[in-house]
Structure 1
């Protein structure tokens, strides 16, 4: 028997249930407490998930007074900043749901507190655990494409708009960009080694979400349901990024990496109105290159697997806590993802290109 890892859960919505489900599968993990700002909700969650001996709180700071090794933060986006800082300051490792924060300044401070306390800030991008994501990264990192100079990524749902806390700016901070766009960015940027972004020129809109014909909460809908941006990076690299919760189109196209020696096209798996974005699995990988002067397209065989990517995300966090390893998906890396989301919203509001400034931490 190893040391029991004691976990707290902050926020008791649907995503918190996914965390609990997978924590319960891991030997020597105990969910000690749950906190939710709404009185009584933590206790209801504890009962629903059969968490015997787990204590409920309506103040996350009371939860953090317990003897905990780590916490999963599953709150609405606007609460990520405060709960993460408080958890790290209380000496707990953090498993944080995406997006990292609402603004770049918040993300910077969160990383600073992680460094000051020596506690890990791990951000939950579970699509990375699809083994085929590793193929994409390996092909690029091994130089198969030569110098990558242009990337196109993003995804669009024909009709796949959430509701509730996702569509109110005061709670979510942002819409489709933060909800599903951050996954597309992580796919591309992780494969490239997370280059440093320099500028963003962006446009966003919410013609579908604010129309009662398409959304039952149109009167409360005040985030973006569509966005597009051109992002420049160090190393003479440009990214064309586009995301939609809803649109009159079947697809916004594949993810593409253009390199001096080859190009790569990747499609997401899944069908139906809620598919077409990078919060799931890889559907296909194709390499475009020249052989003996002939234009050649090579299909890259996918790894057929039954990996539960969410389960792997939780296991990886627990292993890092247990073994004292660095964060599997560190906050200082995802800081650049958040910087782009922050820049997109600033650029869209200003209707012009904006610079991205990330301090050395």
Structure 2
């Protein structure tokens, strides 16, 4: 290469540490700037990370005046829209942490900014880099299941409620739906090839988060800790989506793909109170089918690996910028799940089915 990639970090919360650690493993990447809205926090972060040559700023707009090839945006949800649009319009490629945005309209504007600027907007869904997730996509899109007409996805933690910015409606936009539901949606929708939704009927609640018996910040809890929805798509596919931060149950069940020729059952990996959702790997895969008139099931061996999935997503972004490739996980795809989450919240509030309308970026 003729020069290193020059990368900036916007937001210095906990997730920014993982971004820096991943970039440091790439010899062709140089982190040249860090920004955070809290005065002096960026400078302290740079010092703690050993980024002795990096400039520090109290505003992302100041950082964006630098010559940069790309930025990692690691801010609270409420800042995703503004920092992303400003970064794209200033000619920077963007790796954005999930969820995409607070509202659907913000997501549309972010996707449009990427189109207009010619720069990359990619979203941070590291479970996609698990080879077992790719295996699921291969099985479903091979046609082995026939016509897939029903999918059930989601996950539930018996206890696993975060606090701080995650439970503020203003700062996070949504609760369990945005935090872990987005992983469940991406797992299913990416496997299916991201079909376009047309309507959703949903219910949400926050019985646990607002109860001081279960959450130390109950008086500040403003978002949903549970949600369930039925989503209809253009191709007569329906998806049942359910998610929970807390419940009196061990599981909300496996993910299922029902097809006219076969069905696929998938369980997540991991154990413990914060497991049971699709923010990690695959535990088991089973194919249900008929052979010679007999109902049978076939376990599909999972693929063992030692990949650091978080590193892989950061490295893929850097490689895509370096090599001039398209966004690894493009904003147009994640806008579809943002539309579903938006529809879930609207439907739950209205207590009826609502339509989903998306711009055509195809």
Relative to the length of structure 2, the TM-score reads 0.99
Look up the SS of the partner of 1:212 in the other structure: coil
Alignment partner, residue 51 of structure 1: 51
Q: Which structure 2 residues correspond to residues 81-230 of structure 1 after superposition, within 5 A?
A: 81-230=81-230
Alignment partner, residue 71 of structure 1: 71
The Cα offsets for residues 27-67 of structure 1, whole Å up to 9 and x where unpaired, read as 11011111111111111111111111111111100000001
Look up the SS of the partner of 2:360 in the other structure: coil
**8 Å contact from structure 1 (residues 3, 322) kept in 2:** no
The 4+ residue runs of structure 1 with deviation greater than 2 A are none
Alignment partner, residue 305 of structure 2: 305
Q: How far does residue 356 in structure 1 lie from its aligned partner after superposition?
A: 0.2
Task: Tell me the matched-pair count.
Answer: 361
Q: How far does residue 2 in structure 1 lie from its aligned partner after superposition?
A: 5.0
Alignment root-mean-square deviation, CA: 0.7
Alignment partner, residue 345 of structure 1: 345
Q: How far does residue 170 in structure 1 lie from its aligned partner after superposition?
A: 1.1
Look up the SS of the partner of 1:62 in the other structure: helix
Question: Is 1:273 the counterpart of 2:235 in the alignment?
Answer: no
For 1:64 and 1:199, the matched residues in 2 are separated by 39
For 2:225 and 2:351, the matched residues in 1 are separated by 17
For 1:3 and 1:131, the matched residues in 2 are separated by 32
For 2:349 and 2:199, the matched residues in 1 are separated by 15
**8 Å contact from structure 1 (residues 2, 28) kept in 2:** no
| Structure 1 unaligned spans of 5+ | none
Q: How far does residue 103 in structure 1 lie from its aligned partner after superposition?
A: 1.0
Q: How far does residue 251 in structure 1 lie from its aligned partner after superposition?
A: 0.1
Alignment partner, residue 19 of structure 1: 19
For 2:296 and 2:23, the matched residues in 1 are separated by 46
For 1:2 and 1:320, the matched residues in 2 are separated by 16
For 2:135 and 2:35, the matched residues in 1 are separated by 39
The Cα offsets for residues 174-206 of structure 1, whole Å up to 9 and x where unpaired, read as 100000000000000001000000001011111
Look up the SS of the partner of 1:236 in the other structure: coil
For 1:207 and 1:38, the matched residues in 2 are separated by 33
